[in-house]
């Protein structure tokens, strides 16, 4: 990705094994009062924030849509000049995140053709009986990739193949109780500054030291998101969006 906007192919491509995608998420309130989520890749030039800080390359925008059966978000590339001329505040749609009514299951999909959707990740949350005092437990199921980085396709939609051999299941890393702060906590290596039930790290159960996705709060409306192989920018952003969404069963 260069100092310009990333291509759709780059947003779908898995992060390379030797790199880490470090991003900043911003909750933005538009003129029409709709709240959107923007994600920027850090360290790549790009746009300035309200306070003059460098936000980096603008990657994606999540636009919320409400319904009686659950929440959904469409994922868009940044608006281009033609979009601005037409009064649009986001560009072409490249993905979506949909939830069930209780907010315990989210499906992340990519656009794969004209009016066609391709499931790439399923995120599930356990019901949190401890409310805001306890950590959330979540899993993310994604398609496995071969040695070339190409996704191994299941014969059926991913949501029906969670235990398939060609799927990878990631789990939230279990926080440890800190008696001094009287809170659960993880080591975020100075990337997260504010305690929040939404903060998480996704790991493979067989290697809990390899953090695939890390997400956490920095300030009001500001978050960091770091992703590694085998996640793609769209997948990682979709998981972060699911964490920020309101959940009836997971305070």
What rounded mean pLDDT belongs to the chain?
82
Q: How confident is the model at residue 50 (pLDDT cuts 50, 70, 90)?
A: very low
The torsion angles phi and psi of 241, rounded to 5 degrees, stand at -60, -40
Distance of CA 99 to the CA centre of its chain: 14
Q: How confident is the model at residue 73 (pLDDT cuts 50, 70, 90)?
A: very high
Nearest C-alpha neighbor of 119 from the set 159, 150, 76: 159
pLDDT of residue 51: 39
pLDDT of residue 177: 78
Q: How confident is the model at residue 113 (pLDDT cuts 50, 70, 90)?
A: confident
In this predicted structure, the answer to whether residue 49 has a pLDDT above a threshold of 70 is no
User: What is the rounded CA–CA span in Å between residue 95 and residue 99?
Assistant: 14
pLDDT of 156-213, one tens digit each?
566 655 556 678 899 999 877 778 877 767 888 889 989 888 899 999 999 999 999 9
List the domain boundaries for the chain: 8-244
| Angle 178-124-208 from CA coordinates, rounded to 5° | 50
DSSP class of residue 227 equals: E
Phi-psi region of 46 (alpha: psi -120 to 50; beta: other; left: phi over 0): left
In terms of pLDDT, which residue wins out, 123 or 130? Answer: 123
In terms of pLDDT, which residue wins out, 127 or 244? Answer: 244
Which residues have CB under 8 Å from 103's CB, separation 6+?
70, 71, 125, 245, 246, 247, 248, 249, 250
pLDDT of residue 210: 95
User: What is the rounded CA–CA span in Å between residue 107 and residue 121?
Assistant: 6
In this predicted structure, the answer to whether residue 247 has a pLDDT above a threshold of 70 is yes
User: What is the rounded CA–CA span in Å between residue 92 and residue 8?
Assistant: 9
Task: Give residue for tokens 């659960």.
Answer: 184
In terms of pLDDT, which residue wins out, 84 or 227? Answer: 227
- CATH code, residues 8-244: 3.20.90.10
């Amino acid at each position: 990705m260069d100092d310009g906007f990333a291509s759709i192919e780059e947003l779908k491509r898995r992060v390379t094994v030797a790199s880490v995608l470090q991003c900043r998420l911003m909750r933005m309130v538009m003129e029409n009062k709709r709240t959107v989520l923007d994600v920027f890749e850090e360290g790549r030039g790009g746009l300035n924030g309200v306070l003059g800080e460098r936000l980096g390359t603008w990657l994606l925008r999540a636009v919320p849509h409400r319904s009686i059966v659950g929440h959904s978000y469409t994922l868009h590339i940044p608006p281009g000049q033609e979009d601005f001329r037409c009064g649009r505040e986001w560009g072409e749609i490249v993905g979506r995140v949909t939830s069930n009514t209780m907010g315990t299951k989210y499906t992340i999909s990519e656009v794969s053709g004209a009016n066609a959707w391709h499931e790439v990740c399923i995120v599930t949350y356990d019901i949190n009986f401890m409310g805001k005092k306890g950590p959330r437990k979540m899993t993310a199921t994604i398609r496995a990739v071969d040695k070339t980085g190409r996704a191994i396709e299941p014969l059926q939609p991913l949501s029906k193949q969670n235990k398939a051999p060609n799927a990878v299941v990631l789990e939230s890393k279990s926080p440890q109780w800190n008696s001094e702060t009287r809170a659960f906590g993880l080591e975020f290596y100075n990337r997260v500054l504010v305690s929040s039930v939404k903060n998480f790290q996704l790991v493979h159960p067989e290697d809990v030291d390899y953090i695939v996705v890390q997400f956490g709060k920095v300030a009001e409306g500001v978050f960091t998101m770091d992703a590694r192989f085998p996640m793609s920018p769209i997948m990682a952003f979709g998981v972060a969006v699911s964490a920020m969404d309101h959940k009836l069963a997971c305070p």
